[in-house]
């Protein structure tokens, strides 16, 4: 049996550590810290020597105008069809112009679903189809939901609506621009519970900084920005991560059973 190429192995390992919350790495070359400590300290305040032609903003910085525009547009959408049309016309998220297909990838599932599932971003197959979670990871997600009796009972979307170049993880800034639309979708569906798949979706929706290994299986309360809607939310592993890391499937199954148990719990009189 042929061995996988080194690049594929490295990519899978990096994805594993990213999902686990690792955000730093060792330097490629050694550093003599003792010698570094013996050097004279640099001045506390460096003189302002930036050239006059230096860029005024960092490309990845959030654009307040785009975020506020998204909020205003999302507020005007009284149903999911209007929201989908608004997202399709929205030009405030830079991913739209970085290689994604011209149409946005918004959602699939019934508008009155008791559960909203939120993932990270569309992939290549989703980009072509215009629907979220239709590739290999999507088919695995469907099997996961079927196992807990949620076939055709979930509304599925992502934190961003355009495929990031090279299937990279969307930046927090890109997620912030799209977040008002995600929030309005939840408002319109009004589900009983949220299932957040993967670290990027969990961090975006719950403003958490820990890795998914620490967050999965724990209950949180998601709230709208104005606090008028509050919904229980459970993070778990992304299906793509489970495909790369089969050893995590037992933990994901435990998360799903916890989710189903609370969803099916009889309502209080």
pLDDT by residue (tens digit) across 167-197? Answer: 999 999 999 999 999 999 999 999 999 999 9
| pLDDT at res. 61 | 44
**Domain annotation covers residue 38:** no
Q: Is residue 71 part of a domain?
A: yes
- Over residues 48-57, the pLDDT tens digits come to 333 333 333 3
Measure the CA–CA gap between 170 and 32, rounded to whole angstroms.
Answer: 36
Percent of the chain at pLDDT > 90 equals 69
119-136 mean pLDDT? 95
Does any domain span residue 208? yes
Domain for residue 4, yes or no? no
In a domain, 137, yes or no: yes
The answer, yes or no, to whether residue 16 has pLDDT greater than 90, is no
What pLDDT shows up at residue 23?
Answer: 52
* Residue 233 confidence (pLDDT) above 70: yes
Tell me the average pLDDT across 233-250: 97
* Res. 34 pLDDT band, cuts 50 70 90: low
Question: What's the confidence (pLDDT) of residue 60?
Answer: 43
Residue 113 lies in a domain: yes
Instruction: Output DSSP code: residue 157.
Output: E
Q: Are strands 230-236 and 220-223 parallel, antiparallel or unpaired?
A: antiparallel
CATH number assigned to the domain comprising residue 224: 3.40.470.10
Q: Domain containing 130: what range?
A: 64-263
pLDDT at 98 over 90: no
> What are the residues whose beta carbons fall under 8 Å from the beta carbon of 184, sequence distance 6 or more?
74, 75, 77, 83
Specify if 250 maps to a domain: yes
For residue 56, tell me if it sits in a domain.
no
Q: What is the rounded CA–CA span in Å between residue 81 and residue 59?
A: 32
**Helix pair angle (172-189, 199-206), 10° resolution:** 70
Count of domains for the chain:
1
Reply yes or no on whether the pLDDT at 230 is more than 60: yes
Predicted confidence (pLDDT) at residue 46 exceeds the cutoff of 80: no
């Amino acid at each position: 049996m042929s061995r996988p190429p080194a690049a594929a192995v490295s990519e899978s390992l990096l994805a594993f550590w990213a999902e686990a919350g690792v955000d730093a790495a060792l330097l490629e070359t050694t550093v003599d810290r003792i010698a570094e400590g013996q050097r004279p300290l640099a001045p506390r305040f460096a003189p302002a020597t930036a050239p006059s032609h230096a860029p005024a903003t960092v490309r990845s910085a959030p654009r307040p105008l785009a975020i506020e525009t998204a909020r205003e547009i999302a507020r005007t959408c009284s149903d999911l069809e209007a929201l989908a049309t608004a997202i399709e016309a929205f030009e405030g998220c830079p991913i739209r112009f970085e290689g994604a297909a011209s149409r946005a990838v918004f959602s699939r599932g019934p508008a009155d679903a008791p559960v909203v599932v939120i993932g990270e971003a569309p992939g290549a197959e989703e980009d072509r189809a215009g629907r979220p979670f239709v590739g290999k990871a999507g088919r695995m997600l469907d099997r996961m939901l079927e196992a807990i009796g949620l076939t055709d009972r979930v509304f599925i979307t992502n934190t961003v609506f355009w495929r990031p170049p090279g299937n990279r993880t969307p930046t927090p800034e890109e997620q912030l621009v799209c977040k008002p639309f995600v929030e309005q979708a939840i408002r319109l569906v009004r589900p009983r519970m949220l299932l957040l798949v993967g670290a990027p979706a969990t961090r975006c929706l719950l403003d958490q900084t820990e890795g998914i290994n620490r967050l999965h299986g724990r209950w949180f309360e998601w709230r709208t920005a104005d606090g008028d809607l509050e919904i229980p939310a459970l993070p778990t592993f992304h299906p793509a991560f489970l495909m790369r890391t089969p050893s995590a499937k037992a933990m994901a199954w435990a998360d799903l059973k916890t989710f189903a148990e609370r969803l099916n719990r009889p309502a209080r009189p």
